[in-house]
Structure 1
């Protein structure tokens, strides 16, 4: 059964359309949708429940990373798809991520920069900001991916829950932290070019959030510097904790 995790903050205007599209696309298949209402003060939770979604509610706004973690940890399916409430990457792109897992990847990350990607309606300023941030991420963390921040990602179920059980970043840089953890765990990640549309109403503010993401990326780098995975996240090869291989 597929789990679909959607972080949502004041998304009553867009969520219904997204849930309708998901219901049509996955008609006849077994799936669950977990909507995380991250402290919304509108009808986000009510709309999600009206579509039969599982709803996780935060009493206040904790940040996108915290919302995604709550959703992943509440999920029960395999694989686990992360997608944004605006469905900026159309759900018709899902088979591309699915194919990457079929080829042996543990994680497939949608990308606006990889071969085959198509970005629509994005302003030059938005594109430039994305390129600068991803160049910064590669420089700071050593990650090879050209786009870590696309909200369209597919994980094997046990991999998703293992990674997010150790994730600490509550803001927009959670993607970077999870990919660094995946590298430390020796997981296979495939970057997949997808179609992506710049939707109105984005919650990201380039200057304010860009600076916060830079600070978070530096903190992530420092948390792993000079330490082994065991020292950094306190895992053990014994017990129930996932360990590759």
Structure 2
């Protein structure tokens, strides 16, 4: 079974279209959709329930990382897809990530900056901010990935639940922490180029959230320096690759 985890904070406008697209694409396949209502003040939870989703509610807004962690730990699938409520990377790109797992990866991360990626309507400011943040990630963590922040990632279920049970970051940098944990524990990660379209309504504020993300990144680096995890039995050796998927 595939679990689709969608973090949602005040997403009553975008959620119906996203859930409709996901359900149409997965029709006839065994799946569950887990929507985590991260303390919304609108009808996010009500809409998700009307679509038949499993809904987990936070009593207050805890942050995207906290919402994804809650959803992944609550998931039951052999595979777990984490995707954003705006479907900036359409659910039809799932097949590319599944191909990566079939090639032996434990985790497939969608990317906007490797061969095969197609990015539409992203502003120059957003592109520059993303590349600057990725440079900081690579300098501070030595992770090789060119895009840690694309909100479209597929995990083997047991691997996902283990990694997120250990992750502590509640904010937007949770992706970096999970990928660091994956490296330390010996999971194989493949970075896969996906189609991605900038959708209006992003809740990321480039300056304010950018400063906060830098602080989170420093904290993650400090925690990582003090951690030591043995390789997990049954996983691949520590490795990361980029896939030129068209």
Describe the shift of the 1:227–1:60 C-alpha distance in structure 2 as closer, same or farther (beyond 3 A).
Answer: closer
Structure 1 spans left out of the alignment, 5+ residues: 231-236
**How many angstroms does 1:35 deviate by?**
0.0
**What's the counterpart of residue 218 of structure 1?**
218
Is 1:111 aligned to 2:114, yes or no?
no
The residue aligned with 1:120 is: 120
What do residues 165-189 of structure 1 show as CA deviations (whole Å, max 9, x unaligned)?
0010000000000000000001000
Tell me the distance in 2 between the aligned counterparts of 1:227 and 1:9.
Answer: 32
Q: How does 1:222-233 map to 2 (within 5 A)?
A: 222-225=222-225, 227-229=227-229
Secondary structure of the 1:183 match is helix
C-alpha separation between the residues in 1 aligned to 2:94 and 2:206?
A: 27
Query: Any idea what SS the aligned residue of 2:46 has?
Result: helix
User: Structure 2 CA distance, aligned partners of 1:244 and 1:140?
Assistant: 29
Distance in 1 separating the partners of 2:234 and 2:167: 17
Residue 179 (str. 1) matches residue 179 (str. 2): yes
Matched with 1:233 is none
Residue 223 of structure 1: how far off its partner (Å):
1.1
Structure 1 Cα separation of the partners of residues 6 and 26 of structure 2: 15
Displacement of 1:92: 1.1
Question: Aligned-pair distance for 1:116?
Answer: 0.6
1:203/1:229 CA distance change after superposition, 3 Å: same
2:119 aligned with 1:139, yes or no?
no
Deviations 1:129-167 (A, max 9, x none): 001100110000010000000000000000000000001
> Displaced runs of 4+ in structure 1, greater than 3 A?
242-245
Residue in structure 1 matched with residue 96 of structure 2 by the alignment:
96
Taking the aligned partners of 2:172 and 2:62, their CA distance within structure 1 comes to: 11
2:19 and 2:225 map into 1 onto residues whose CA distance is 41
Aligned residues of 1:9 and 1:39 also touching (Cα < 8 A): yes
What is the CA–CA distance in structure 2 between the aligned matches of 1:243 and 1:167, rounded to whole Å?
Answer: 20
SS in 1 for 2:4: strand
TM-score, reference length from structure 2: 0.93
> What are structure 2's unaligned runs of at least 5 residues?
236-246
Match of 1:47 in 2: 47
- Aligned-partner Cα distance in 2 for 1:134–1:106: 22
Within 1, Cα distance between the matches of 2:229 and 2:205?
33
Structural mapping, 1:164-203, within 5 Å:
164-203=164-203
Cα offset for 1:81? Answer: 0.1
Displacement of 1:206 in angstroms is: 0.6
| TM-score between the two structures when normalised by the length of structure 1 | 0.94
Secondary structure at 1:229 match in 2: coil
Q: Does 1:8 align with 2:8?
A: yes
Say whether 1:66 aligns with 2:50.
Answer: no
Kept in 2, the 8 Å contact 1:80–1:160? The answer is: yes
User: Hey, what's the Cα distance between the residues in 2 that align with 1:154 and 1:119?
Assistant: 19
TM-superposed deviation, 1:225: 1.6
